[in-house]
Amino acid sequence: MNRIPLIIDCDPGTDDALCIMLLGASSKYAIKGITAVHGNVSLQHTAENALFLSHYYGIDCPVYRGAQQAMIVRNERAAYVHGGNGLADYEYSTEGLSCAEGYAWDFLYRSAREYAGELEILACGPLTNLAITILKHPDFASLVHRLVIMGGAAHSGNTSPLAEFNFQQDPHAVQVVLQAGFSDVTIVDLDCCNSAWLNPEEQKTMAALPAHNRIHGLLAQIMAHKVISDANITRVHGERFGRDRAARMVVCDAVAAAVAVDPALAQYRDVYMLCETEGTQTAGQSVIDRLGLSGKTNVRLAMNMDRDRYAALFMNSLKHYEEA
Ligand code: RIB
Ligand code: CA
């Protein structure tokens, strides 16, 4: 079966790392590149982390640097969740490795032309790279077959009562993407992510992969750091936010990866979505036209994940990295 060309646009980020792990294990895709964007931590860290992860997972593809800041706003990063280096403070070396020459937006456009009508993109960070590509190359959206975005929040946010982190980091970029005319956009928002978690048993397996699994070191570090991350989230956002994080580990970007790999894991509703850019209390909010007043739709909103099938896909992906 011919693999589908895929580019992952991300801000690693511990959940981005698990997203790339899942996609790297999938026989559905040929990962043609990883493009790094500012977000959880600075571009310097997200690009270095992406470079390390592609090598660590054995994904033979170029890594490109993208935008180091949002188009207009400047918001807090999320090192309190992902660790100072963005990867649970896991220590690694990228000696002998380097990012590809050039910028993410030019690589995204070159790839869209090379794989016209076939290219899929999974975006799980702020959408600044995609927005720049669209503004620089107006035919970009028409060349992309499918775009899966982890972002937005149909109901409650995570970095504010109404805004999800990726959308809040660059709401203007979200507006550019949502109005660019992509023919197939799936939004995996926070509500969808919260319907697909990993239970304590699955978390224990992740924390203690066998030594012959070549990613056991990073997974053990991510799981050990989760205790710090959960405590920080509760400190920053309050007890209610973090009350069941130990019982239910929600890995947002991995949920988006699973939806990309197996769309049947979720249910969908076609809606018209925009992103608030100006409100002092609402910037980054996903604005969904639930009544259809606009008379049009622009995205397919994923929801109601099959948790057990998602977890099975996630745990099976880990086995891909076992060595004889
Ligand atoms: O809100 C969750 C999203 O924001 C994830 O993509 C996480 O990595 C951060 O980028
Ligand atoms: Ca991310």
Question: Tens digits of per-residue pLDDT, 249-281?
Answer: 999 999 999 999 999 999 999 999 999 999 999
Rounded (10°) angle between helices 104-114 and 128-136:
60
Q: Give the chain's domain count.
A: 1
Instruction: Select from 247, 83, 226, 73 the least CA-distant residue to 160.
Output: 73
What pLDDT score was predicted for residue 205?
Answer: 98
Q: Print burial letters for 63-79: b (CB count within 10 Å at least 16), e (below 16).
A: bbbbbebbbebebebbb
Does the pLDDT value for residue 78 go beyond 70? yes
Rounded (10°) angle between helices 307-319 and 14-24:
80
Mean pLDDT, residues 295-306: 98
What pLDDT score was predicted for residue 181?
Answer: 98
What pLDDT score was predicted for residue 261?
Answer: 98
Does the pLDDT value for residue 167 go beyond 70? yes
Which helix (H) or strand (E) segment is 30 a member of? strand 29-36
Does the pLDDT value for residue 291 go beyond 70? yes
The per-residue pLDDT for range 37-46, each reduced to its tens digit, is: 999 999 999 9
Confidence class of residue 126 from pLDDT cuts 50, 70 and 90? very high
Q: Which residue has the tokens 């009508």?
A: 117
Q: Is residue 269 part of a domain?
A: yes
Share of the chain above pLDDT 70, in %: 99
Amino acid (1-letter code) at residue 324: A
Contact 301, 271 (CB under 8 A): yes
Runs of H (alpha helix) within the chain:
14-24, 43-56, 79-82, 104-114, 128-136, 140-143, 165-169, 171-178, 190-193, 200-207, 216-237, 239-242, 252-261, 307-319
Q: Is residue 324 part of a domain?
A: no
Confidence class of residue 242 from pLDDT cuts 50, 70 and 90? low
pTM of the predicted model as reported, rounded to 2 decimal places:
0.98
What pLDDT score was predicted for residue 296?
Answer: 96
Residue 22's CB is within 10 A of a number of other CB atoms, namely 25
Q: Is 245 helix (H, G, I), strand (E, B) or coil?
A: coil
86 C-alpha to ligand 2 centroid (Å): 10
CATH number of the domain within which 283 lies = 3.90.245.10
What pLDDT score was predicted for residue 43?
Answer: 98
What pLDDT score was predicted for residue 271?
Answer: 97
Does the pLDDT value for residue 241 go beyond 80? no
Q: Is residue 256 part of a domain?
A: yes
Share of the chain above pLDDT 90, in %: 94
Does the Cβ of 164 fall within 6 Å of ligand 1? yes
What pLDDT score was predicted for residue 245?
Answer: 85
Structural domain span for residue 282:
4-319
Mean pLDDT of all residues belonging to the chain:
96
Does the Cβ of 189 fall within 6 Å of ligand 1? no
Q: Which residue has the tokens 């928002």?
A: 189
164 C-alpha to ligand 1 centroid (Å): 8
Contact 219, 206 (CB under 8 A): yes
What pLDDT score was predicted for residue 152?
Answer: 98
Mean pLDDT, residues 218-237: 94
Does the Cβ of 13 fall within 6 Å of ligand 1? yes
Mutation pick for ligand 1 pocket among 159, 164, 166 (CB with most ligand atoms within 8 Å): 166
Mutation pick for ligand 1 pocket among 124, 251, 259 (CB with most ligand atoms within 8 Å): 124
